[in-house]
């Protein structure tokens, strides 16, 4: 018997960058609860 198929999402975040510095970094400074969940 096969296991149920789990949902999958392809998310393309054009222009979304990750960098160490937080100065002028909207991703690091902003409230990003959904992204934080996906990053886990």
The number of distinct structural domains making up the chain is: 1
Q: What is the reported pLDDT for 20?
A: 81
Run means of pLDDT, 10 residues per run, the chain, 40 residues:
88 81 84 86
Residue 40: CB partners within 8 Å, gap ≥ 6?
none
Q: What is the reported pLDDT for 15?
A: 77
Which structural domain, as residue segments, surrounds residue 13? 1-40
């Amino acid at each position: 018997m096969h296991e149920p198929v789990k949902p999958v999402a392809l998310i393309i975040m054009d222009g979304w960058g990750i960098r160490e510095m937080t100065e002028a970094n909207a991703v690091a400074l902003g409230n990003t609860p959904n992204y934080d969940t996906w990053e886990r």
